[in-house]
Amino acid sequence: MATDEVLTGSAPVRESRPAGANSAAAEPQPARVPRLPSLTGLRFPAALAVFAVHASMPIPSLRLLADDRTEFRLSRWFDQAGGLGVAFFFVLSGFVLTWSARDTDTATEFWRRRFVKIYPNYVVTWVFAMVVFASASTPTHVAVANLFMVQVWVPSYFTNFSVNSPSWSLAVEAIFYLSFPLLLAVLRRVDPRHLKYWIIGAIAAVWATPAVAYALFPKTPLVPSGQNLSVSANWFSYVLPPVRMFDFALGILVALAVKHGRWRNIGMIPSFLLLAGGYWLTFHVPFLYGQRATMIIPIVLLIAAAATADIEGRFTLFRNRTMVWLGEISFAFYLLHYTVLSWLRKALGTEMYSNAAGISILVGAAVGTVVLSWVLYSVIEAPLVRRFSRSLRAKAA
């Protein structure tokens, strides 16, 4: 998803001068926000995790493997990979937008940049999905709701995940973007010494949401994915924007803590190990807890560790040119991959494949999606961002 406000560049911030300095020196001088390319590089593995969960779904419109045992084993292994990827992107959005926030920016200019970055790709992939497979099974009112990013406001599984299934998370991100100027203004007022308590509170809220969902929402009807989970509980805990706002706010708070030097960094390797442990834990807790709660602390630790490594100039595997490029096209990859998988299954007909052949086809689908993502990024996303992300007034200023 699109969270790269200045990850591969830097943006001006303001630095105050001591009282009593001469008038020339007293003028605010531009400083530079440290670049965080490792966070750009981390975006592609997160998008690939979402690809993995869809590629392993044992449903007719996606399944390629003939062997039931392998198919359902892969489905079990990657069952919560989508939850991992989405939670990572939501926290990352809050962190990156806070890190790159400009003191002189206006809400209108910020919303303009986000709209130009997000919506053209969203519309192109909506049309692609409708042409390839979705128009045959999607009611008109649902398709229109999806196009205008309001599909996440009703407890309906087939509405929430309609047309291009991953697009629901962009509808949630849109609410984040609308609220960000006000939310940042409020959280910036928190005493840096107290940020740790706010971070703990946000993490506690993430853990509380599945408990509330299980306690208060009906047990039926069940989601069609085979989980013993009601549609309304899944909607409240996983999809509803105000609930997912805790993930986004957590990213904002952690970015502020890092900026103020109030963050205790544990490093990327320990963070990855904790994330692996959090993912293992998803197999041993009720499903809604595994969607994000068991992994939220390691996600926060990893994002902060990658940012700290970039600030301090230390080596990471995600700062090289290839990973940064993959990260830059990852938003397009995220939006395209489900439709590519659906088109591929449709094009191949009803034939099922051996494990080796099926996995080879899926690897090819991932590579093909990367190529299509590069085209979408180069032809639509990057040119429109360059041309329209700033108003004429902002360019003049």
The pLDDT of residue 115: 96
In the predicted model, is pLDDT for residue 12 greater than 60?
A: no
With pLDDT > 90 as the criterion, what percentage of the chain qualifies?
Answer: 84
pLDDT in tens, 127-155: 999 999 999 999 999 999 999 999 999 99
Report the distance separating Cα 49 and Cα 292, nearest Å: 14
3-state secondary structure of 125: helix
pLDDT in tens, 279-305: 999 999 999 999 999 999 999 999 999
The pLDDT of residue 29: 37
In the predicted model, is pLDDT for residue 14 greater than 50?
A: no
In the predicted model, is pLDDT for residue 363 greater than 70?
A: yes
The pLDDT of residue 395: 60
Tokens of 24: 């020339």
pLDDT in tens, 231-254: 999 999 999 999 999 999 999 999
Report the distance separating Cα 302 and Cα 300, nearest Å: 5
- Chain mean pLDDT for the chain: 90
Other C-beta atoms closer than 10 Å to the C-beta of 291 total 25
The pLDDT of residue 11: 37
The pLDDT of residue 23: 37
The pLDDT of residue 309: 96
Place of tokens 């904002």: 252
Beta partners for 14?
30
pLDDT in tens, 171-197: 999 999 999 999 999 999 999 999 999
Q: What is the mean pLDDT of residues 357-384?
A: 96
pLDDT band with cut points at 50, 70 and 90 for residue 34? confident
With pLDDT > 70 as the criterion, what percentage of the chain qualifies?
Answer: 90
Element containing residue 198 per DSSP (H, E): helix 195-216
Low-confidence winner among 4-18, 109-123, 184-198, 355-369 (lowest mean pLDDT): 4-18
pLDDT in tens, 19-29: 333 333 333 33
Other C-beta atoms closer than 10 Å to the C-beta of 351 total 8
The pLDDT of residue 143: 97
Q: What is the mean pLDDT of residues 371-377?
A: 97
3-state secondary structure of 353: strand
Sign of torsion, CA 59 65 68 70?
Answer: negative
pLDDT in tens, 69-114: 999 999 999 999 999 999 999 999 999 999 999 888 899 999 999 9
Q: Is the Cβ–Cβ distance between 354 and 66 less than 8 Å?
A: yes
Q: Is the Cβ–Cβ distance between 282 and 295 less than 8 Å?
A: yes
The pLDDT of residue 31: 52
